[in-house]
Amino acid sequence: MRLIAEHVNVDFPIYGTQRSFRKALFERAAGGVISSDARNANRTVIRALTDVSFELHEGDRLGLIGHNGAGKSTLLRTLAGVYQPVSGRILVDGVVTPLFDALPGLDSEDTGYENICTSAMLFGLKPDQIEKLTTNVEEFSELGEFMGLPVRTYSTGMTTRLGFAFATSIEPGILLMDEGIGAGDARFADRAAERMADFLARSRIVVIASHSDRLIRSMCNKAALMHTGRVVSLGDLDAVLDEYHAFVHGANLEWAQQK
């Protein structure tokens, strides 16, 4: 099983941003590299990812770290096929399980059962797999009769528990996660932590984006530091996290320019 990025570049076109103050605003929000489009004077292009390359094999757990707008979530979504590179390519040998939204396709008017079925079909599961998954979600979420009621009748904690139970019932393969998955109320937390550990252990490759050292250290065996859409350091967990903190705390004022 492999996940490979080869010289990946991703652009986001923004229209109607010719005025300087609007361009400055987008630059602050995006964190990427902004340029004008020579073919369209009314269009600005944000280079969200620049020349991103790495190769992951079975057993790799990669933590993406960097400030807001560094490109972590964009990279995850590109690996999942949500965004297409304008150049370069993503090579996937295995099944990708993107968990950016614990319960994709959630419809508040549908019941818990119906939402499980819809989300499972989005993952390409077959009827017999959906039946087994539904039983697993029902047992772990402990929602009882609420499973047959519209999700709009659920509390926030109940909805989170439904999503967590669903997300961790999927056979992960190549797992892509953004900041982890919420587990709901405190009483549920211990069971959720144990289940998440088992879920990660079943994953063949993991890529997770987070601001948390603790989360990265607990889940990953290597790290990638991102800045303005580039992977500027990749490798040893401690070395990459140390470099990140040097940048954050201003210990190396020339860091960003050097990168």
Calpha distance 236→222 (Å, rounded): 5
Over range 74-90, report the average pLDDT.
Answer: 94
Q: What CATH number is given to the structural domain containing 218?
A: 3.40.50.300
Q: How confident is the model at residue 21 (pLDDT cuts 50, 70, 90)?
A: very low
Percent of the chain with pLDDT over 70: 81
* Domain identity same for 90 and 11: yes
Q: How confident is the model at residue 253 (pLDDT cuts 50, 70, 90)?
A: very low
* Domain identity same for 60 and 130: no
* Domain identity same for 174 and 237: no
* Domain identity same for 127 and 35: no
Dihedral sign, CA of 111, 136, 77, 243?
positive
Range of the domain at 75: 2-94+210-258
Over range 50-56, report the average pLDDT.
Answer: 96
pLDDT at 196 over 50: yes
pLDDT digits (tens, 9 = 90+) for 134-186: 999 999 999 999 999 999 999 988 988 898 899 889 888 899 988 756 555 66
pLDDT for res 27 = 53
* Domain identity same for 138 and 217: no
Q: Which one-letter amino acid corresponds to residue 246?
A: A
* Domain identity same for 142 and 191: yes
pLDDT for res 100 = 77
Calpha distance 241→101 (Å, rounded): 26
Picking from 203, 218, 241, the residue at the C-terminal end of a domain is 203
* Domain identity same for 89 and 115: no
* Domain identity same for 228 and 173: no
* Domain identity same for 113 and 164: yes
Average pLDDT, the chain: 84
pLDDT for res 30 = 52
Q: In the chain, how many domains are there? A: 2
* Domain identity same for 88 and 111: no
- Say how many CA atoms lie within 13 Å of 194 toward its Cβ: 5
pLDDT for res 188 = 74
Q: How confident is the model at residue 98 (pLDDT cuts 50, 70, 90)?
A: confident
pLDDT for res 33 = 59
pLDDT digits (tens, 9 = 90+) for 205-249: 999 998 888 888 888 999 999 999 999 999 999 999 998 988 776
DSSP conformation letters of 190-210: HHHHHHHHHHHHH-SEEEEE-
The CA-atom distances, in angstroms, between 147 and each of 133, 142, 159, 162, 258 are: 14, 9, 10, 9, 54
Distance from chain centroid for Cα 104: 13
3-state secondary structure 129-142: HHHHHHHHHHHHHC
Between 238 and 189, where is the model more confident?
238
pLDDT at 29 over 70: no
